[in-house]
Amino acid sequence: MLSIRNLAHVYANGTRALDGVDLEIGKGMFGLLGPNGAGKSTLMRSIATLQTPTSGEIRFGDIDVIRQPEQLRRTLGYLPQDFGVYPRVSAYDLLDHMAVLKGIAGKGERKQTVEALLHQVNLWDVRKKAVAGYSGGMRQRFGIAQALIGQPQLIIVDEPTAGLDPEERNRFLNLLAEIGENVVVILSTHIVEDVADLCPRMAVLAQGRILKEGAPSELMAELNGRVWRKVIDRHELDGEKARHEIISTRLAGGRTVIHVLAAARPDPGFEPAPGGLEDVYFSTLAAARRAA
């Protein structure tokens, strides 16, 4: 169990990136949704012991993460948003080197570990190719392979599917789902579909605060009968914004689809819409903006 209590972080320029974050995260996939600048990466880096928060507490089981960072690192796998690699080094050699850094000293054990991971992430056939020459999806799968060295019990992945094509995204998400069956996996992202597809529990983070937390199905059920949909021409959008509080807009077939959150039908042109996780996300952010 990962336990976060009243976590805050203020940067030297006065920016408050985290503001009293409280979370309890158990085994399995946990989704952390939030817009860019919400504080997600600051939270992930704090959990991963890459920076020390201004105040608060982080515990993973019996480990005090802030006071015992070395103990946490022994059981941590981390795939940051920007995962750099050495040029001209093959995937096999780079994983072997990282296994040494993780404390796997025996050559035989290391060979077994590296080969098993390359098979697990479906990179065995390109193991001799330099990682710098991999596609974006292949690099992300390699990133997961290095994060899995040493059989970690806590894995953090930060914006892992940004920029991936649909096929690579599906392959990567399937890999994460398989990993998340036995350990704590935190998926930090701004892509709603990734959380909807994978995570039995989630939280929405914005302005450094947890705004909403729970099971996606339960959060979506809270919106039953309150989401209304209307298809309009683009030139009508400003007028609709003046009359209604729109939580989301999207283009469909050359026209604009708007969603409004309301207790009753806003006007005869609206029809009821099933509340999806995207509606949960956008309505939560809209409520936070109103309260600010």
Share the mean pLDDT of the chain.
91
Residue 51 CB coordination number (10 Å): 15
Q: What is the DSSP string of 58-123?
A: EEETTEETTT-HHHHHTTEEEE-SS----TT-BHHHHHHHHHHHTT---HHHHHHHHHHHHHHTT-
Domain boundaries, the chain: 221-291
**In this structure, what token pair is assigned to residue 27?**
């085994």
Cα three-residue angle 208-210-213, rounded to 5 degrees: 160
Q: Which of 49, 50, 54 is nearest to 66 (CA)?
A: 49
* pLDDT in the model for residue 288: 86
* pLDDT in the model for residue 30: 96
pLDDT tens figures, 160-219: 887 788 888 888 888 888 888 889 999 998 889 889 888 999 999 999 999 999 999 999
Coil, strand or helix at 247:
strand
pLDDT tens figures, 221-258: 999 999 999 999 989 999 999 999 899 999 888 899 99
Q: Which of 87, 91, 198, 82 is nearest to 146 (CA)?
A: 91
Question: Hey, CA dihedral for 170, 172, 176, 179, is it positive or negative?
Answer: positive
Least confident of 2-11, 26-35, 60-69, 130-139: 130-139
* pLDDT in the model for residue 135: 87
* pLDDT in the model for residue 154: 96
Phi, psi of 85 (to 5 degrees): -135, 160
pTM above 0.85, yes or no: yes
Which of left, alpha, beta for 267 (phi over 0: left; psi -120 to 50: alpha)?
beta
**In this structure, what token pair is assigned to residue 3?**
């336990």
pLDDT tens figures, 135-163: 888 888 898 899 999 889 999 998 888 77
pLDDT tens figures, 262-281: 999 999 999 999 889 999 99
pLDDT tens figures, 34-68: 998 899 999 999 999 999 999 999 999 999 999 99
Q: For residues 241 and 281, is the Cβ–Cβ distance under 8 A?
A: no
Residue 128 has pLDDT above 80, yes or no: yes
Beta strands 271-272 and 227-232 are antiparallel
